[in-house]
Amino acid sequence: MNPYLRGKPLPQTHTRPPRLSTILFGAPYYPEHWDPSMWERDAQLMAKAHFNTVRMAEFAWDRLEPRKGTSAFSLFKEVNALLGGYGSRTILCTPTATPPRWLTRAHPEVLRVMPDGRRCTHGSRQHACYASEAFRRHGRRITRAMAQAFAQDPNVVGWQTDNELNCGFSECVCPNCQVEYRRFLKRKYGSIDALNGAWGTAFWALTYGDFDDVEIPYERRPGSENPSARLDYYRYLSHIAVRFQREQVRELRRANPDWFVIHNGIFQHLDYYELSKDLDFLGFDNYPAFRLDTAPTKAEGAACIASRLDQARSYAGNLIVPEQQGGPGGQKAYLHDNPRPGEMRLWSYQSLAHGADGILHFRWRTCRFGAEEYWCGILDHDSVPRRRYREAQQEGAEFARLAADLLGTHVHIDVGILHSPEQDDAHRALSLGLPTPLEAAEHLHRALWMGKFAVGYVNPADGFHGLKLLVVPHLAMCDQELASKLTHYVEKGGTLLIGARSATKNMDNVVIEETPPGLLRDLAGITVEEYGKRPERHYRIILEQEVMPALWYEVLQPTVAKVLATWRGGHIDGQPAVTLATVGEGKVIYVGTYLARETADWIARLAVQQAAVEPLLTDVPSAVEVTIRESERGKLLFLLNHGDQPHTLRGLPGGLDILHNEPVGEELQLAPRQVAIIAIGD
Ligand SMILES: [Zn+2]
């Protein structure tokens, strides 16, 4: 039995919590970088910071197998036992993010070939191709050897596959990928005629005679490329990463089915919904400083991070943070701001508020050498415990107290925004200079987050249960299955908001021949009569008051919908811009412009009003974040002050502040960077 797991696996959906029996707390640890004489003191300091988990070995292939076929696992066995004695169990990692030099020298073909045709050299990470036969074989071999060696180790509770698949590099055009890409297409289409038909190769005389004619896309090929071919290449990249991981997961589960298996994301050209099917829970590496260092305000920065956390949670439903920022990150030409006192802890609580049940601070101690000499950890290079260590210590003590209340709860959302990496990739293949659906949706997420609404993302393949409002943010590709699901959702009483350009393509990334919005026409009760870019230069929208359009306009022709707003200006003056249809017990709002900074506020207001969605709290300053985690046991209200000023919150539901174990009435003082978690019952 795994001491960190309880219950049976739950179906994959956005309301699924991890089945953990404890909140994981600790850090990635690299004993291979430090003299063994330091390990025991490290273990003592970890115990004093209430660590229960360390993650190890993701970059240690050269230590684990110094030469081909030689296994050297004693270092990690020794450290596992030592840390176990001080209360920390281990998440081991398959070390395939950094294949050792003997492997890349014996098999130079495992190195990626970048889209410009140049092959990677050894010397960084993620430089091997997930489709390479030799790399996959060695990946399975080292995974099997490690899994068998640690199968009986009572201190190992779980595994992380690889490290940050597709981070830095996601593309490869090596000769092996060329072969594998053709195989992938042949499996998908069966015949070359089917591929020609699906891709529309009649355009620019692209027609292929057989699958060997199809070339993998290099950069700077002559001319613009076929968007269907480009999307299938992105799908291929996701496929080889998912397959690469699956081969490792099989080895791990075969050796010890009680282990949990995670992976840490999230990056481009990878369908994490698909990847998560092989995992117990998904990890999200959370480095808020990437956003906060450039955000105009703390609230704007916090909203960005909230969106990323919600995006990560949408794939597997459950979430842990295997790398939570534990100091300023520095690589190449950048170094983040050092988190101010209280900020690191605040960020950890933000992760918990968005569904995480595990926080590992990256990293235990700043490394003295290598590409991340200044990717700072809880401890500085000199191992002296300072304020970041003390802050982690506080978190550890608090998380241990909170575990009983927090575990088994999931994040409550009223508003779900559809998000799928495949739709974003389809868009990237021919973007017209418009933001991806996710980039556009982030504006709506921010507006709703600022308004204290319970908002999150939902995968189109997921269920839409519990959502009062569902948003289709410019998802161009639509099939009958999605159209039927959306129709069912509305008929049962849901409110659907459809953004411009939705359902304008089939799943091959080819424009439909029907009038837009194609399969959603009947549901929306409109057709699109005219469209174009940059409406902000010529037109406005009249919705009670005048509001701005952004990036794209559509002139709508209602069939059964009623008009909520009209265009002003030029030849489209007075024509419908926003409509509302009643379908079954629900409603469909169609908005004939794009989600953007200029439009998100009025679109959010309109949508929540039509869907009768109430904010979680009212009269709360923008810098104070509000979320709810819930279960059948009740609700936990998270309040996080991301600002530099204290705030008095009024009109609270009242309950017990479980962080400080104090009753809370209608009013609460929240100091800068402080957090409250209030159990409010039903
Ligand atoms: Zn390749």
Q: Domains plus CATH for the chain?
A: 25-170+242-407 (3.20.20.80), 175-231 (no CATH), 415-611 (3.40.50.880), 624-681 (2.60.40.1180)
Q: How far is the CA of 125 from the centre of ligand 1 (A)?
A: 15
pLDDT, tens digit, 9 for 90 and up, residues 165-174: 999 889 999 9
Does residue 630 have an active-site annotation?
no
Strand segments (E) across 108-230: 156-160
Q: What is the mean pLDDT of residues 313-334?
A: 97
Amino acid symbol at 34: W
The DSSP code for 161 is: -
Tokens read off for 402: 């909170």
What is d(CA 666, CA 661) in angstroms, rounded to the nearest whole number?
Answer: 16
Distance of CA 36 to the CA centre of its chain: 36
Q: How far is the CA of 154 from the centre of ligand 1 (A)?
A: 38
pLDDT reported for residue 336: 97
User: How large is the C-alpha radius of gyration of the chain?
Assistant: 26
Does residue 667 have an active-site annotation?
no
- Answer whether residue 474 shows pLDDT above 70: yes
Q: How far is the CA of 554 from the centre of ligand 1 (A)?
A: 41
Task: List, as one string, the DSSP characters of 551-573.
Answer: SEEEEEEESSPEEEEEEESGGGT
Q: How far is the CA of 186 from the centre of ligand 1 (A)?
A: 18
pLDDT, tens digit, 9 for 90 and up, residues 138-186: 999 999 999 999 999 999 999 999 999 999 889 999 999 999 999 999 9
Q: How far is the CA of 168 from the centre of ligand 1 (A)?
A: 15
Residue 386's CB is within 10 A of a number of other CB atoms, namely: 11
Confidence of residue 587 (pLDDT cuts 50, 70, 90): very high
Q: What is the mean pLDDT of residues 303-316?
A: 98
Contact status, residue 584 vs residue 492, Cβ threshold 8 Å: yes
Write down the catalytic residue from 323, 391, 395, 536.
Answer: 323
Which is nearest to 472 in space by CA: 448, 491, 496? Answer: 496
pLDDT, tens digit, 9 for 90 and up, residues 646-675: 999 999 999 999 999 999 999 999 999 999
Residues 6+ apart with CB under 8 A from 498: 472, 517, 520, 523, 524, 588, 589, 590, 591
Tokens read off for 370: 């290598």
Residue 387's CB is within 10 A of a number of other CB atoms, namely: 14
β-partners of residue 565 are 578
Q: What is the mean pLDDT of residues 349-363?
A: 98
pLDDT reported for residue 169: 86
Amino acid symbol at 543: L
Q: How far is the CA of 236 from the centre of ligand 1 (A)?
A: 11
Tokens read off for 442: 């982030």
Q: What is the mean pLDDT of residues 521-537?
A: 98
Block residue for tokens 């004939």: 592
What is d(CA 554, CA 4) in angstroms, rounded to the nearest whole number?
Answer: 53
- Answer whether residue 325 shows pLDDT above 90: yes
Contact status, residue 158 vs residue 263, Cβ threshold 8 Å: no
Number of residues that this document lists for the chain: 682
3-state secondary structure of 98: coil
* ipTM value: 1.00
Q: How far is the CA of 206 from the centre of ligand 1 (A)?
A: 24
Calculate the alpha carbon distances from 363 to 230, 277, 322, 381 in Å.
37, 28, 10, 11
Which is nearest to 620 in space by CA: 378, 450, 421? Answer: 450
pLDDT, tens digit, 9 for 90 and up, residues 219-259: 867 778 999 999 999 999 999 999 999 999 999 999 999 99
Calculate the alpha carbon distances from 73 to 27, 149, 151, 548 in Å.
20, 8, 12, 62
Q: How far is the CA of 238 from the centre of ligand 1 (A)?
A: 12
Amino acid symbol at 46: M
Q: How far is the CA of 269 from the centre of ligand 1 (A)?
A: 14
Confidence of residue 682 (pLDDT cuts 50, 70, 90): low
Say how many CA atoms lie within 13 Å of 168 toward its Cβ: 15
- Answer whether residue 102 shows pLDDT above 80: yes
Block residue for tokens 């115990």: 47
Q: How far is the CA of 237 from the centre of ligand 1 (A)?
A: 9
What is d(CA 555, CA 484) in angstroms, rounded to the nearest whole number?
Answer: 25
Write down the catalytic residue from 65, 164, 300, 343.
Answer: 164
Q: How far is the CA of 673 from the centre of ligand 1 (A)?
A: 45
What is d(CA 395, CA 405) in angstroms, rounded to the nearest whole number?
Answer: 16
Burial (CB count <10 Å: 0-12, 13-18, 19+), residue 188: middle
Amino acid symbol at 598: E
Q: What is the mean pLDDT of residues 186-195?
A: 98
